[in-house]
Amino acid sequence: MNLVALWQQGDAVSRGVIVVLLCMSVLTWAVIVYKGWLVARARRSVPRSIAAYWQAADATAAWQGVRAHDPLRLVLPLLDGVQGPDVAAQATLEATGSRAARLTRRLREALGSASRQLQWGQIVLATIGSTAPFVGLLGTVWGINHALTGLAGAGALSIDKVAGPVGESLIMTAFGLLVAIPSVMAYNVFGRLIAGVVEQLDGLAHDLLALYGEAA
């Protein structure tokens, strides 16, 4: 018995479960492919961008060097935050604080933006990984109930008559697990890799604050 046979023999609920699990599977692999490309590129570009910044002769050369190695714009917003125009002379609440406070605010916003960009899709993977087994279990429970209801009027029941429909319904649970396992694994792997990139960006932000925070 396969999913095609279950689709042909199932009712609206069983078919709905199959459609939901198929959509979850397609979405999971689409997110995995995209995030694999995103995280791999970030892991290459961020260290190169940071190295290009510190090896530059001045701030202008540093910005140009980072721009050449930062296609995802994960590092450039940090530089824009410390090298952009100051607001000290403006009559705003932002200008009332110290320069270090203003730079801290800008760097925090840049770090938040970079983190959100890298974290995109993590919620999707976590949600699918945690709910797909239950969706499959729903299909199994409904399939068993549907099968037993159909056998209720068949007279005396035997193991052979019950085992077939129950085994077929268990395919739904297996399908749910097959959807969930890659999603959970990808979530954990990407989470670890993203944490490493964010740690590098956070270190650069602290260095930039120490370098520019006390400037006049």
Domain that holds residue 91: 3-212
Amino acid 213: pLDDT: 75
Do the Cβ atoms of 43 and 71 come closer than 8 Å? Answer: no
Residue 54: pLDDT band (50, 70, 90) is very high
The CA dihedral of 162, 167, 172, 174, to the nearest 10 degrees, is 150
Distance (Å) of CA 175 to CA 41, 101, 162:
32, 53, 21
One-letter amino acid of 35: K
What are 175-211's pLDDT values in tens digits? 999 999 999 999 999 999 999 999 999 999 999 988 8
Residue 216: pLDDT band (50, 70, 90) is very low
Q: What percent of the chain has pLDDT over 90?
A: 54
Residue 61 scores a pLDDT above 70: yes
Domain count, the chain: 1
Residue 80 scores a pLDDT above 80: yes
| Among 34-38, 169-173, 184-188, the least confident range | 169-173
Residue 101: pLDDT band (50, 70, 90) is confident
Amino acid 3: pLDDT: 61
Residue 158: pLDDT band (50, 70, 90) is low
pTM > 0.75: yes or no: yes
Distance (Å) of CA 32 to CA 96, 105, 130, 177:
45, 33, 16, 17
From CA 124, how far away is CA 128, in angstroms rounded? Answer: 6
Higher pLDDT, 92 or 83: 83
